[in-house]
Amino acid sequence: MAGGASVQPLAWNIRLKIAIGAARGLAFLHTSDKQVIYRDFKASNILLDGSYTAKISDFGLAKLGPSASQSHVTTRVMGTYGYAAPEYVATGHLYVKSDVYGFGVVLVEILTGLRALDTNRPSGQHNLVDWIKPYLSEKRKFRHIIDARLQGQYPYKAAYQIAQLSLKCLEAEPKHRPSMREVVETLERLQASDQKPKQPRVRPTHSMAHRQGQQPLHHRSPLHTNLDRNRGYQHSPRVR
Ligand SMILES: Nc1ncnc2c1ncn2[C@@H]1O[C@H](COP(=O)(O)OP(=O)(O)OP(=O)(O)O)[C@@H](O)[C@H]1O
Ligand SMILES: [Mg+2]
C-alpha cells in the first residue's frame, strides 16, 4: 500500500476492500488447523494486485499459535514499532490477538492516510495510534482526523463504525480485542450497508480549507499541523 505525492489517494471503497482482504487473510491464518500468528502485520506487508485484492506477504516472522492449554507463546520480541501489540513488546508474550492489534493500527492508517510511525511529525505525534486514539472515539473529533484527501467522499456512519472497530482491535488487553473473524464480519456488513459513498452530513469545511492552503474557519484542531506533508507510507524501524 505504497503512497507518495505523485500517487492518487485511494477511494473509500478501495480502502475498505483492502481492509477486508487483509482481514480475511489474518482470519484464515488464525483459524487454520495449525493456528498461525503472523506477527508482523503492517501496511507494507499487504500486497495488492491490479484490482486491489490484498495478499499478506512476508511470513518470515510467522509463528505457530499456542497449544490448547496455553493462551500465548513466549518468544523473542520481533516485529515493527508502531504496529506491534503492547503486551508483546513489554513481555514477549505473543497472542493470536497480538495480530489483531496490528490490524487495528492498519485500520487507523487507512482512515487517516497517515503512517503508523513517522518521526517527521511533530513530537507527540510520531506514533499514530498514541496520538490519534483519543480522536477516534468522539464523533465530533473523528471528522477532523479522517483523510482529507477523501474529499468527503466516504460514508460517514460506516467510517465512524470502522474507527470504533479499530479501537476494539487496539484494546490494551488482548482478550478484549475481537477475533479476526468478527473483524471480517463487521467490515463486510459495513461494506454491504454502504455500497455508495455519500456526502457526510456536515460539509468538511475544515478539510477543504486545508486543501486550498487556507486556515480553516471552524473546528481548529491540533491534528492538521503539517498533516499533508506527513501523509503517505514509509518504512518503519524494526523492533528487533
Ligand atoms: N512481491 C512484491 N511485489 C511488490 N511489492 C513488494 C513485494 N514484496 C515487497 N514489496 C514492497 O516492497 C517494499 C519493501 O518490502 P519489504 O518486505 O522488503 O519491507 P517491509 O515490508 O517494509 O518490511 P519487512 O521486512 O518487515 O517485511 C514494501 O513497500 C512492500 O510492499
Ligand atoms: Mg515486507
Report pLDDT digits (tens) over 123-155: 999 999 999 999 999 989 999 999 999 999 999
> According to the model, what pLDDT value does residue 151 have?
95
Q: Are 128 and 109 in contact (CB under 8 A)?
A: yes
Ligand 2 ion local residues (Cβ < 5 A): 45, 58
Parent domain of 139: 7-239
Q: What is the tens place of the pLDDT at every residue in 204-231? A: 554 433 444 333 333 333 344 344 444 5
DSSP-derived secondary structure for 118-135: -TTSPTT-SBHHHHHHHH
Residue 190 within a domain: yes
CA-to-CA distance for 94 and 100, rounded, in angstroms?
11
- Look at residue 2 and tell me if it is in a domain: no
Nearest to 98 by CA among 8, 6, 169, 202: 169
**Domain assignment present for 185:** yes
Ligand 1 pocket test, pick from 38, 45, 49, 56 with the greatest ligand atom count within 8 Å of Cβ, gives 45
* Residue 33 is a catalytic residue: no
User: Atom 31 of ligand 1 has which residue's CA nearest to it?
Assistant: 44
Q: Are 180 and 100 in contact (CB under 8 A)?
A: yes
What is d(CA 198, CA 215) in angstroms, rounded to the nearest whole number?
Answer: 26
What integer pLDDT is reported at residue 231 of this predicted model? 52
**C-alpha 80 to ligand 1 mean position (Å):** 13
Non-local CB neighbours of 33 within 8 Å, separated by 6+ positions = none
> Which listed ligand is nearest to 233 at the C-alpha?
1
Q: For residue 198, what pLDDT is reported?
A: 53
* pLDDT under 50: residue ranges of the chain: 206-230, 232-234
Domain count, the chain: 1
Q: What's the CATH code of the domain at 36?
A: 1.10.510.10
With 0-12 / 13-18 / 19 or more C-beta atoms within 10 angstroms meaning exposed / middle / buried, residue 235 is exposed
Q: What is the C-alpha R_g of the chain?
A: 18
In a domain? residue 1: no
Q: How far apart are CA 196 and CA 164, in angstroms?
A: 21
